[in-house]
Amino acid sequence: MALWSGRFTEGADAFTQQFGASLPVDEKLYAQDVAGSVAHGQMLAAQGIISVEDAAAITEGLAAIKADIESGAVAFDVQQSEDIHMAIESELTARIGDAGARLHTGRSRNDQVVTDTRLYAKERVGDLMAANLALREALVEAAEKHFDVILPGYTHLQHAQPVLLPHHVLAYAWMLARDFERLAAARKAADASPLGAAALAGTTYPLDRFATTAALGFAHPIPNSLDAVSDRDFLLDLIYACSVSCLHLSRLCEELILWSTSEFGFITLADSYATGSSIMPQKKNPDFAELIRGKSGRVVGDLMALMMTLKSLPLAYNKDLQEDKEGAMDAADTLEDCYRCAAGMVATMTVHPEAMMAQAQKGYLAATDVADYLAKKGMPFRRAHEVVGHLVLLCDQRGCDLEDLTLEDFKAESDLFEADIAGCLNLEAIVAARTTYGGTAPDAVRVQLEEVKQGLAADRARL
């Protein structure tokens, strides 16, 4: 019989019992449920609502149940218990009798479940922040290892201007640093205690909500009991943070996939981050990068699902809210695995600098610098742009590169050109000239690398 069966005359139907149960999802919250119940029981005794002996029996009984769950000595069944809260409380009462039956005094599953979920969210976000740092470290190592490598920078996936490989790699480190901030914000959003809100309106018992808040390590109690039991914004924040980070990983992985094609040949993924084909013996597929790219869709789906669940939901607790946990857990688990996989992939890939350099030599990557050369000699930039456009056309017609043109060819378009134009055509010089803060010159990238490393150290201290 369910713990709430007093006003019912018929037993539960096996199908609806299973349909309504959340145990398969929320059994992951067993440790948080035990922690919440211990804090509640101790506070009840401190307030003189139950005896100190009963509170001690509750604390001991819960510790034993927790150990038994972890060793596998006790397992729960949806036909017996709808959720982890009922399962643990029934087990406790079966073991210690009346003391166990007193635990739920002044408490509802409505405040209980969201207390557990907030504790879980705080912990999981902490894990994600650590995994985020590990990936950023792998990116920094790759940036340092391949510091001098030049590749084409792209816009519209067409060759644009040459950039340093560390500059390109660090762009992802910055995205991930912002993701860390979003995760930290989600952890802060979860850091408030609903316990003591009871079903929706507070309770007639003299509960000390500040005591349970402190015992559970929350920053403060939630000031409105209706809001306490019905707010799931912290989960939206968590899944949103996961979604944005998954989108960033999908962009990184898309590039790794592209770069490992025969057409690019910029990198080779390690064997452990690739798979073969069951029919084509020659194949080496970037499955894991593709999987990370694909999983981003699932996580964004988790965000949409919870947003829709919350839409138009009246106050206070509604059973719809039971749908909150599965997607949030999935988003966190998925992102954690994706971080780990991406870090391994980046750390073990082989970079081919000559292939990157060879591509950087194609597509008139010096064109902007040649236009800047004229503009710096007084020609309005728009006119300089047109002059260089003509030179590019000339190269196109001759099937050559800007470097292959003679000084006479240049002079035919503008007599501002002198022999020193050669200095604008060299890739290293083009890169080295972009010295603006955040630019791709080695000195600027060195400054950036230092900032990324300082950010990493500061974020590590926030774990």
Query: What are the catalytic residues?
Result: 156, 277
We find the least distance from the C-beta atom of residue 319 to ligand ARG, in angstroms, to be 6
Q: Of 76 and 410, which has the nearer Cβ to ligand ARG? A: 76
Q: Could you tell me the CA-to-CA distances from 355 to 162, 267, 348, 442 in Å, in that order?
A: 13, 9, 18, 20
Tell me which residue of 230, 245, 242, 246 sits closest to 327, measured CA to CA.
242
Tell whether residue 83 is a contact of ligand ARG (CB under 6 A). yes
Helix (H, G, I), strand (E, B) or coil at 427: helix
Q: Of 64 and 199, which has the nearer Cβ to ligand ARG? A: 199
Instruction: With contacts defined by CB under 6 A, name the span among 108-116, 128-136, 285-293, 338-346 that binds ligand ARG.
Output: 108-116
Report how far residue 191's alpha carbon sits from residue 221's, in angstroms, rounded to the nearest whole number: 9
We find the least distance from the C-beta atom of residue 332 to ligand ARG, in angstroms, to be 17
Q: Of 320 and 451, which has the nearer Cβ to ligand ARG? A: 320
Instruction: With contacts defined by CB under 6 A, name the span among 161-169, 242-250, 318-326, 391-399 that binds ligand ARG.
Output: 318-326
**Tokens coding 406:** 């003679």
Report how far residue 159's alpha carbon sits from residue 138's, in angstroms, rounded to the nearest whole number: 27
Tell me which residue of 340, 301, 336, 307 sits closest to 324, measured CA to CA.
307
**Tokens coding 410:** 């240049």
Using CB under 6 A, pick the residue from 26, 111, 302, 413 that binds ligand ARG.
Answer: 26
Under a CB-based contact definition with an 8 Å cutoff, are residues 248 and 179 in contact? yes
301 Cβ contact list (under 8 Å, min separation 6)? 327
Instruction: With contacts defined by CB under 6 A, name the span among 105-113, 331-339, 403-411, 413-421 that binds ligand ARG.
Output: 105-113
Using CB under 6 A, pick the residue from 40, 66, 109, 434 that binds ligand ARG.
Answer: 109
Tell whether residue 42 is a contact of ligand ARG (CB under 6 A). no
We find the least distance from the C-beta atom of residue 22 to ligand ARG, in angstroms, to be 4
**Tokens coding 236:** 């939206």
Q: Which string of DSSP letters, residue by residue, matches 189-202?
A: HH-SB-TT-TTTT-
We find the least distance from the C-beta atom of residue 307 to ligand ARG, in angstroms, to be 17
Tell whether residue 319 is a contact of ligand ARG (CB under 6 A). yes
Q: Of 35 and 374, which has the nearer Cβ to ligand ARG? A: 35
Q: Of 149 and 305, which has the nearer Cβ to ligand ARG? A: 305
Judged by CB under 6 A, how many residues of this single chain contact ligand ARG? 10
We find the least distance from the C-beta atom of residue 324 to ligand ARG, in angstroms, to be 7
Using CB under 6 A, pick the residue from 113, 151, 184, 445 that binds ligand ARG.
Answer: 113
**Tokens coding 428:** 């290293």
Q: For 295, how many CA atoms within 13 A lie in the half-sphere containing its CB? A: 25
We find the least distance from the C-beta atom of residue 58 to ligand ARG, in angstroms, to be 20
The secondary structure of residue 364, as a DSSP letter, is: -
Q: Which string of DSSP letters, residue by residue, matches 282-347?
A: T--B-HHHHHHHHHHHHHHHHHHHHHHHHTTPPSS--GGGGGHHHHHHHHHHHHHHHHHHHHHHHH
Tell whether residue 22 is a contact of ligand ARG (CB under 6 A). yes
Give contact residues for ligand ARG (rule: CB under 6 A): 22, 26, 83, 109-110, 113, 317, 319, 321-322
